[in-house]
């Protein structure tokens, strides 16, 4: 049972999700092939101490900059042949339906619904593909956009764990991370300059975005490695709420203090869902988020809060997604409607 897993090349979160799914499929006897940037897969495998999968070095050329080009090369033109695969899963990339109409989609949103000024022609093509095929889609329930249940045959699952569960150490560290947030990165850089040359906070260590770390920063500031060992130490995370970092922080029991650039609908939605779930708070900027986070980390109840939060999180999303895909392959001779009725440990949204 060969499965192609295509990762969107717009942040480590997409590759992380497909790597977790790849390992879950392998554990069930399938033969998945991960199509993603080689360097990112190797980095994740090293950080999370998981085995390297069968890998095709593939960069989809779907960064935010690529997406905003009105007329450009379509990422599917560079895809390896897919006819050797029983199933295909494409993470956040609708265009795969033009070359594999029965492909699964994965993710929690669509780019053309989330990115401001998305080119009209590309958006129209995406909507046409969705209307024509109404694809099966697997999404993490916590982050799943409401429109997915209308535009796809949606299956909601838990969070995608990668590696063993994180056991909180009782430390009260704080993480400050902005990912590839554009304006958010500039704001985070300014905040870190203030923190580095101000009074030391009452927390043991502040882990910061590695691209923004400088060697002249005080010893209590360290570059984040996003490893399970780091997440085990943090009580609070000051983050731009991308799914990858948010998932790891939530599963470690850390409380989220969120900020993001203006106009990013995905970040707005993620922050609201996390806030509504009682797992964090949203702020107008990195500065207010930092002040609230360091105050929380010093509370006597912070460690108890971490343990309670981590205990209620469903971290079986990759296993649930793998079960869906394996059920689909096992039911190859059934009609699509019959496949949709296969009973699995997930939630089907009609």
Domain at 72, CATH number: 3.40.50
Residues in the chain: 350
Between CA 221 and CA 205 the distance in angstroms is 6
Task: Decide if 11 is inside a domain.
Answer: yes
Q: What is the pLDDT of residue 344?
A: 47
Consecutive 10-residue averages of pLDDT for the chain (350 residues): 92 92 97 96 94 95 84 86 95 96 96 90 95 97 95 97 87 90 82 93 94 94 94 94 91 93 85 92 95 90 71 89 93 55 48
* Chain position carrying tokens 């496949």: 339
Could you tell me the CA-to-CA distances from 235 to 106, 156, 194, 230, 281 in Å, in that order? 30, 28, 21, 10, 14
Q: What is the pLDDT of residue 343?
A: 43
Radius of gyration of the chain measured on its C-alpha atoms: 20
Half-sphere exposure of residue 30, counting CA atoms within 13 Å on the CB side? 31
- 261 & 338 share domain: no
Total domain count for the chain? 2
Element (H, E) at 324: helix 317-330
- For 218, the token pair is 């005080």
- 50 & 141 share domain: yes
Task: Decide if 167 is inside a domain.
Answer: no
- 74 & 211 share domain: no
Q: Strands of 234-239's sheet, edge to edge?
A: 221-223, 206-208, 173-177, 234-239, 255-258, 280-282
Query: Which stretches of 54-110 are DSSP H helices?
Result: 64-67
Domain with residue 205: its CATH number is: 3.40.50.2000
Between CA 184 and CA 307 the distance in angstroms is 30
Domain limits at 149? 2-162+316-349
- 138 & 10 share domain: yes
Between CA 128 and CA 135 the distance in angstroms is 12
- For 126, the token pair is 């995406």
């Amino acid at each position: 049972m060969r499965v192609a897993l295509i990762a969107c090349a717009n942040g480590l979160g997409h590759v992380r999700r497909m790597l977790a799914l790849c390992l879950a499929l392998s554990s069930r006897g399938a033969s998945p092939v991960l199509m993603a940037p080689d360097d990112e897969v190797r980095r994740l495998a090293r950080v999370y101490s998981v085995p390297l999968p069968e890998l095709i070095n593939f960069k989809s050329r779907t960064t935010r900059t690529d997406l905003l080009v009105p007329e450009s090369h379509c990422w599917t033109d560079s895809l390896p042949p897919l006819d050797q695969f029983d199933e295909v899963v494409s993470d956040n990339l609708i265009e795969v339906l033009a070359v594999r109409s029965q492909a699964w989609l994965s993710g929690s949103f669509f780019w053309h619904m989330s990115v401001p000024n998305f080119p009209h022609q590309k958006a129209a093509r995406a909507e046409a593909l969705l209307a024509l095929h109404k694809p099966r889609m697997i999404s993490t329930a916590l982050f799943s956009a409401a429109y997915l249940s209308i535009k796809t045959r949606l299956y909601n699952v838990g969070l995608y764990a990668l590696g063993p569960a994180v056991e909180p150490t009782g430390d009260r560290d704080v993480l400050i991370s902005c990912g590839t947030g554009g304006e958010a990165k500039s704001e985070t850089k300014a905040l870190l300059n203030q923190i580095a040359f101000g009074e030391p906070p009452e927390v043991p260590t502040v882990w910061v975005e590695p691209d923004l770390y400088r060697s002249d920063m005080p010893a209590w500031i360290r570059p984040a490695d996003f490893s399970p060992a780091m997440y085990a130490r943090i009580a609070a995370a000051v983050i731009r709420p991308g799914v990858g970092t948010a998932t790891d922080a939530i599963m470690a029991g850390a409380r989220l203090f969120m900020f993001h650039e203006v106009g990013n609908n995905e970040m707005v939605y993620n922050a609201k869902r996390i806030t509504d779930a009682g797992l964090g708070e949203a702020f107008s900027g990195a500065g207010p988020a930092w002040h609230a986070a360091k105050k929380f980390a010093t509370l006597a109840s912070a460690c108890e809060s971490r343990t309670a939060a981590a205990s209620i999180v469903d971290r079986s999303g990759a296993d649930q997604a793998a079960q869906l895909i394996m059920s689909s392959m096992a039911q190859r001779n059934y009609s699509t409607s019959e496949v949709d009725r296969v009973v699995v440990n997930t939630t089907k949204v009609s």
